[in-house]
Amino acid sequence: MCSRTRIPFTTCFGVVHVRNALLTIIILQLLGEIIETLQYIFAQSAYVPDFLEFLFEVIESLVLVSTIYGWWKEKKEFIVPLFIQSMLATMVTLLSTVLFFVSMFFPYTAAAEAFIPPGMIEDSASTRRVFFLMCFIFVTPIAALFGWFVMTSLGAYQYYDHKEKLEAFRRSRPLPSLNIPATGNFGNPNFSDEEEEEELFGNKKRGAEMV
């Protein structure tokens, strides 16, 4: 049996190309921004975000615009902000996952108290464990999704870098010269077919006349 090799620059076990996966990330981010904007618009009470939250929203928008431009123009430099953002989000969600997992066994630690809502301060240990279990189940897929964002953005960066190097190599390679020898008369007005025939067979004709 022949071994099946993985196709380069793909994700999802070699099924999806990194460029299509990057487009999927862009669509997911656009949907998230649209939903968040609709929540601000149709909120019952007027909500004014603070400066830090507003700064995060601006950074997310800039990263999204940079990713769209990098995907459209196939520029690797514009994929770097998405990679950094995804890496930070992965680290935060992984840390939260570990804290939720530990809090299931130690529900009264200082870290566990930081995640407990105010209404659950007086609840029993079993109730807290169920709460942390639900948080763990909810956050773990999000951490895996952000990890996929990291791998996809890194793969897209490598793919665009490979294309740029390949294109530069093709441009720097000299074109082969076509030295095709002339095989006949190309319609020179100063050289007729009769002159050519006389030049080729003139000696034979003169030899026949001498005999």
pLDDT value, residue 52:
83
- Kindly tell me if the per-residue pLDDT of 175 is higher than 90: no
DSSP secondary structure code for residue 78 in this structure: G
Categorize the per-residue pLDDT at 188 as very low, low, confident or very high, splitting at 50, 70 and 90. Answer: low
- Kindly tell me if the per-residue pLDDT of 75 is higher than 80: yes
The tens digit of pLDDT for each residue in 159-171 reads 999 999 998 888 8
Residue pair 159/9 in contact by the 8 Å Cβ criterion: yes
Burial 172-192 (b: 16+ CB within 10 A, else e): eeeeeeeeeeeeeeeeeeeee
- Kindly tell me if the per-residue pLDDT of 74 is higher than 80: yes
**Calpha distance 157→77 (Å, rounded):** 8
- Kindly tell me if the per-residue pLDDT of 203 is higher than 80: no
User: Between 188 and 36, where is the model more confident?
Assistant: 36
The tens digit of pLDDT for each residue in 8-17 reads 889 988 899 9
The tens digit of pLDDT for each residue in 100-150 reads 999 999 888 888 888 888 777 777 888 888 999 999 999 999 999 999 999
**Calpha distance 49→62 (Å, rounded):** 18
User: Between 76 and 41, where is the model more confident?
Assistant: 76
Mean pLDDT for all residues in the chain: 82
